[in-house]
Structure 1
Amino acid sequence: MTKAELWKAVADVAAVLSSSPIIRRHCSFLSDSSRVAPDSDTAESQVGNIFPYLGGIQARPLRIGRLITVAQPLIANVDWANADVVEFRSTAETVEKAHQWLIEWLRARLAGYPIIPAVQLTPGSRLATDEYSPEIPWVREMRQQQLHLHNSPIMMPELLWPNVEQSRREVEAANETVRVLAQKLSQCAESVAYGHRLSTLQEADKQVLRSVRSNLRSDLDHDTVTREAGSAVYPRNDYRTSRERYWKSTLKGRAHDYTVSFDKFDDLVTTISSVLGQFLFYTPAGEIPTGGEISSLEFHPGDHHLEVSWIDTSGDILHSGELRRLADPLVAEVILVTDVTWSQSQLSGFTGTYRGRILPDSEAI
């Protein structure tokens, strides 16, 4: 199966979820606040004053609820009792919870779920920490809900359509489109490869994985992380990532291949989440814009995907997380922007230097 069917399924899910009153309200906050001047004292601007502290909100519009809580001590110019702020936080938290249940249900289609011997799910790791992480967490309590036995996501409908009985048609449409997405995901090479690698593990391989998980867990003890990385969120995440990378590098043979297959599957699901967020809140499928004056186009093999970098001198400002087509015949697919650098000089004017991942088989979205 090509990825074209997967992106079509993501677009269909977005089209249905956009009817949710919670999604619509969250969308209005994101669009209205982006037009408000920062540091204003008006009631309308209170939500807008939060945005500069959230760090690349456009890259993760479905996952800012917990981030607001983490950033709150750093934000001095917001009245947290303001009605708009209270509603924004509540809506963002609800959207993030619904997103987490959706993602976990998609993960539950994975072979062997909920028993996953991956090193990456070691308690305290970047994917399994109880602390805030920029990653989409794998929540142990959710894996205990036997989601693999449910033929549609639980909790998500109730969260996005508070009056489920009055929204039965929308809920069923959402469940049906998500089931199609899950089917397409299960047919992707990443899912198939994970199932194959899992099935080839011998008891000796599983013992190696258990040993590495034990070693990694010792490295990720709370006091150890604090001693090595301090108390700030991102340095702690970087430390967890570096220790995970080290212990994964010690793996050989079937244990190594299995570990790589888990990374590729998790990376694909994260990409699905990113594309879904863009379709819902910023760029609907079929309306993805094309970039301006492109130069210095270069291709870069990523860990699990192909990336491309370019320079744009048209004055078009891109942000991390955006979907964009390039005005270059060498790249027909859609790009998910991942890195952004802006500069300006009297000689060359405004220049944007960008990098992004190519979404395979995405020409038609």
Structure 2
Amino acid sequence: MPNKEMLLIPGPTPVVDEIYEALAAETWAHTDPRFVSVFANSLKLTKQLFNTDGEVFVIAGSGTLAMEMAVVNVLAPGEKLLVISQGYFGDRFVPLAQTHGIQVETLQAEWGQQVDPGAVADKLARESFKAVTLTHVDTSTGVVADLAALVPIIKRSGALLILDGVCAAAALDEDMQKEYGAPDYKIDLVLTGSQKAIGVPPGLAIVAFGPRALAAREARGLVGGYYVDIKNWLPIMENPGRYYATPPVNMIYAFNRGMEIVMKEDLPRRYRRHEALGKAVRAALSTYGMKPLASEQAAAPTLTCFLYPEGVDDLAFRRALAAKGVVIAGALASLAGKAFRIGHMGNVTGEMFSQAIRLMGETLTEMGHAVNSEAAVAKFREVYQF
């Protein structure tokens, strides 16, 4: 099934034929040994992705469901959560947690900026929190969190670290056994969805619990939810032949193939590819007068939010570009109409972006903003040596 458009939004990302073919395969019974084998393999690969010695959960749902699973399984009503936010999707943890009676406080960075580690250290020195949420890459701003600076500060406080990896998993390192300065300074929980850097259609919520996060769930007792309670899913993750709720059979086929593609590429190489791709896209589009919201130091490998040059109509530009087969996303909140977001993650290629960058230049020129498309493409290829 060939893709008719280049879907270069922050997610879902383009799906390759191998994954479409897996998705379109004959639906087996969810207890069929053939399906059980596929599901088990996908779980094994997911554990490898996060290098966890805990447990992973892959269930029907979205990244938002994964966020809720992460929070409600380790925090009881009345307990305190610190939300470190670098954009819209960091902020979403606030109403989500408050719905479950959790006390929430926030530390918010200015959009386009990374949160100040000193402010985090000061906050955690003055108050005690059961857990801290951190968005690895915020999809609204294209800002990447500085794990090397923040993880030791958070773990030193004794809090659990919940890492939102929706726009990062399979593109940035999220090794749950990595030590950030001390043996116990590790990421406790990572959540993501299937539709971004993993490159599979939307439909799966994916959560990895490390040992401390599993212990926190064990100490919780009853959880204010049935579908989201990981204790109900544990027997299935240990043996996918068991039944709790019917798994999305064809989505598991697609996810398994997607994870095979991820692991075949080799994770360190995949991380380097995304880093190089992000830099190349920013360098190329900057020649059009498009300014990344985040500085290069704070910019994510997976997506960029670009401010338009003066005089470019956002909706007209995106509509004209879509007519040429390149789909990008508008910006959110106060940036709406002033910026756009472009995803550069998953199973995308350099050739795809060479074409997209050329078409973006042509579109700007047609709108009366003359630019040099060939120079931009040359800059992309110069930077993207991969």
Report if TM-score (shorter chain) is over 0.5.
no
Looking at both structures, which has the greater relative contact order when contacts are Cα pairs under 8 Å and sequence separation is at least 6?
Answer: 2
TM-score (norm 1): 0.29
